Structure 1
Amino acid sequence: REGEICITWIGHASFLVQTHEVNVLIDPIWSKWLKVIKRLKQPGFEIHHLPSIDFVLVTHAHFDHLDRRTLRRVAADQPIVVPMGVGNLVHDLGFHIVHELDYWQMVELGPLKISLTPCHHWGARFLADLHRDFGGFVIASNGRTIFHCGDTAYFPGFKEIGERYKIDIALLPIGAYEAPTGREVHMNPEEAVKAFQELRAKTLIPMHYGTFPLGFEPLHEPPRRLLASARTHGIQDKVLVMTEGKPVVL
């Protein structure tokens, strides 16, 4: 119905977002392997069960977010939106047009206004290509706004994002904080709660955990820590831990 948003978590950072007018796919990955890293939980549904996709968004070039094999399967001459410097990785996959956005830049696609926001991460797909940007997406439609954070460590920019946009639903990463590299490029669950509060959003949906073993933390630890932190801050009723493949209407 008009004004409602249907969200389906596919797994990891992959989401199907549906309004009464359009279907949007964000960071889709159905592949079983990330190079040498095996997927531990299967996608919420098979890729051939996808509805017709109107727009595709990819937050950055890392293999667990930009999966060329999956993108080639979902490409059907529709637009795709990526950060600056990422377009050459998707231009040959079958999309009608590639929109490359800079930070705070907005593109209108049908009824949607899609903006790229900063984050604290990195965007190189390989060691040498440091020119690729990375970020999150704010998607606004019919008075509702959803924020897909992409990958990020906690950073002060969440406050500015919350000031610029009135966010209803925040999809925030909570896993891979015990990274083998030791780099601080992912939030832990407690930092995700802090980011959510600074965003001033209404609903927190966690992501980026439990699908691929990208950090040393136990796979089921992130949501447990998230809920504990949410209870401590009195916002447990604002946290929605989703199950892969089960749509939720908000």
Structure 2
Amino acid sequence: MEPAPSPSQLVGPKRHHPVPVELGELPQVDAIAISHDHYDHLDLATVRSLTRTQKAPFLVPLGIGAHLERWGVPAYRIIELDWDEEAQVGGLRFVATAARHFSGRSLTRNDTLWGSWVVAGRSRRVFYAGDSGYFEGYRGIGSAHGPFDLTLMPIGAYSPAWPDIHMNPEEAVNAHLDLGGKLLLPVHWATFTLALHPWAEPVERLWREAKARDVKIAVPRPGEAVDASAAPAVEGWWEMLH
């Protein structure tokens, strides 16, 4: 089954493109990092499959470990962290950092933590923002853990009605610069329709803002690999699809 941002595959919304890599085709991974417990980020069927086919630990914000244990993940494979706590996994340093969002499944709200992740090796650093509105905390994360060779920043599902939940593309550029980012790779767009803006609007706005502010971005096709040291030029491939 494919993960969906709702409790049911029947409710939807549907994906705009297939899953780039099936779970069974994944190589053995070193870590599985979760940002929060919303359905499109924490999928029961996916977790159960990864528990069977992988040996890697799950790194999760506080409270999410209880979900995983109920779903059959052994306790020794669960690493729960509060903001600013860290763990060493696979030769990398994972730091749970702040985000502006919320959590909840079914009728529950905010009984587990949400967050972002710093992944730091000996010579490279990556920041994954998870889901978040823009907030001043990015400057502090950049000062404490940056600069970053790559930032994975959400750019879609925004609306003036919920500015504290999802940032817009211009705010993603602001956050990237606050973090001391070198290359910005946009995420959280193109897969599901979760807001009223047109499908390609997030990446078009991002591309304009990046050009105006001399920010380097990479916009891979779904499933395409990116080498942060030699990212290809942006081609506008989405313009041929919509």
Tell me, yes or no, whether TM beats 0.5.
Answer: yes
**C-alpha deviations, 1:121-174, integer Å up to 9, x for none?**
001223334221000010011221111100000000011011011211100000
| CA displacement at 1:63 relative to structure 2 | 0.5
- Greater share of strand residues, 1 or 2? 1
Give the structure 1 partner of residue 151 of structure 2.
170
* Residue 155 of structure 1 pairs with residue 135 of structure 2: yes
**C-alpha deviations, 1:183-202, integer Å up to 9, x for none?**
22100001001111111111
- Greater share of helix residues, 1 or 2? 2
TM-score, normalised relative to structure 1: 0.82
Taking the aligned partners of 2:3 and 2:154, their CA distance within structure 1 comes to 20
**112, 116, 124: which is aligned to 2:104?**
124
**187, 203, 217: which is aligned to 1:223?**
203
TM-score, normalised relative to structure 2: 0.85
Q: Secondary structure at the match of 2:120?
A: strand
- Structure 2: where are the runs of 5+ without partners? 229-242
**7, 12, 21: which is aligned to 1:45?**
21
Query: How many residue pairs are counted as aligned between the two chains?
Result: 218
Give the structure 2 partner of residue 213 of structure 1.
193
Give the structure 2 partner of residue 191 of structure 1.
171
Taking the aligned partners of 1:115 and 1:30, their CA distance within structure 2 comes to 28
**C-alpha deviations, 1:201-226, integer Å up to 9, x for none?**
11100000010111111111110000
Give the structure 2 partner of residue 80 of structure 1.
58
Q: Which amino acid aligns with 1:49?
A: E
Cα pair 2:35 2:116 within 8 Å, conserved? yes
Give the structure 2 partner of residue 10 of structure 1.
none
Taking the aligned partners of 2:90 and 2:5, their CA distance within structure 1 comes to 34
Taking the aligned partners of 1:200 and 1:117, their CA distance within structure 2 comes to 15
Query: C-alpha root-mean-square deviation of aligned residues, in Å?
Result: 1.7
Taking the aligned partners of 1:163 and 1:153, their CA distance within structure 2 comes to 19
- Larger Cα-atom Rg: 2
Give the structure 1 partner of residue 217 of structure 2.
239
Give the structure 2 partner of residue 108 of structure 1.
88
